[in-house]
Structure 1
Amino acid sequence: MQQANSIDATRRKAALDVLAGAPAHELAAVWDAWTDKPDFTRVRGPEVGLVMVRGRAGGGGAPFNLGEASVSRASVRIVTGQLGHGYCLGRDLAKAEVIAVIDALWQRSPEAVEAEIVAPLQALARKTDQQRRDETAATRVDFFTMVRGDN
């Protein structure tokens, strides 16, 4: 049973990572396409706060406080009783609330949410990441193929 809870927690975290990282307009488009939106009550927020961002010198050195970042959060309870939480960087209260509702829906029906909401957003993120990689690769300079002046 402990193993199943750990796997579910990992899947839920992965889904929340995708939702929080998605552009707000793309999340809104996927959410608008969801036909069975549940009624919900707000438990907390949505509200804006600050979190401390930590870094490490050289990637593996001692941690240090880099600065603060704005974060929006919300907690909701859908009519079937599941409690969902949503967090995202920035001051987008509507996005945090939508993430919270989707999180509560995920707890009720993870397969449907992953197939209809999370998977399209993951595909978009992969496409955007590949475009960025391609644009960056186009500017790469290979110094070993440049002609030296000593020939």
Structure 2
Amino acid sequence: MEMTAALSRQEAMGILARAPGKRLSELFNREKLPAEGQNLRGPETGLVALRGRIGGGGSPFNFGDATVTRASVKLPTGEIGHAYALGREQEKVRLCALLDALRQRPEHASRIDSEILQPLRREQEAEDRRQREETAATRVDFFTMTRGED
């Protein structure tokens, strides 16, 4: 599903956070975008607490912890980008923060959207579709037979 309007920052960051680090790096390097930026924070890795609810409406309970990496980068022109992602891929998260900052510059925004974010989005949608189909193939439907002896 190709979009003609620019992606929102939230959509863009969601795509970047889910992207494999190696693939993101390939796309970034292919576009030859400026890579200079000052690290303001991190990249650093830590834990976040996860909370859940039974059935979506029960009392909250501590579910466990997840590893998260974050980074903030400032471009020489002053734009600041931030990024968070599950896992420990520090270079990936720094690159996400750099892309967040670069998208704030009009001369880079549309190219990043069309040449990096849209291909990643298509790949993620294809993977989601593949997983749904794989799950559906293993689905078991249960039903009850009645004997007719009321």
TM-score bin, normalised by smaller chain: 0.7 to 0.9
Q: Take 2:93 and 2:142, find their aligned partners in 1: how far apart are those partners?
A: 46
Which residue matches 2:104? 107
Q: CA RMSD in A?
A: 2.3
Supply the distance in 2 between the matched residues of 1:106 and 1:30 (Cα, whole angstroms): 15
Write the letter of the residue equivalent to 2:112.
Answer: V
Structure 1 CA distance for aligned equivalents of residues 11 and 54 of structure 2: 27
Higher helix share goes to which structure?
1
- Once the two structures are superposed, residues 88-146 of structure 1 have per-residue CA deviations (whole angstroms, 9 ceiling, x without a partner) of 111111111001100001111332221121111110000001111111122223445xx
Name the residue aligned to 1:42.
Answer: 39
Provide the aligned length of Structure 1 versus Structure 2. Answer: 141
Once the two structures are superposed, what CA deviation does each residue of 1:17-65 show, in whole Å capped at 9, x if it has no partner? 1100112222122112121224111111111111111211112222222
Alignment of 1:52-91 (within 5 A): 52-91=49-88
Give the partner amino acid of 2:140. Answer: V
Q: Is the 8 A contact 1:87 1:96 kept in 2?
A: yes
8 Å contact kept, 1:55–1:65: yes
The 5-angstrom pairing of residues 8-23 of structure 1 reads 11-23=8-20
Mapped partners of 1:142, 1:106: distance in 2:
47
Q: Under a length normalisation based on structure 1, what TM-score does the superposition of the two structures give?
A: 0.82
- Structure 2 gap ranges (5+): 1-5
- Gaps (5+ residues) in structure 1? 1-7
**% same residue:** 45
Aligned partner letter, 1:83: I
CA distance, structure 1, for counterparts of residue 49 and residue 142 of structure 2: 40
- The equivalent residue for 1:124 is 123
Tell whether the 8 Å contact from 1:38 to 1:79 is kept in structure 2 after alignment. no
Report how far residue 13 of structure 1 moved: 1.1
More relative contact order, 1 or 2 (CA 8 Å, 6+ apart): 2
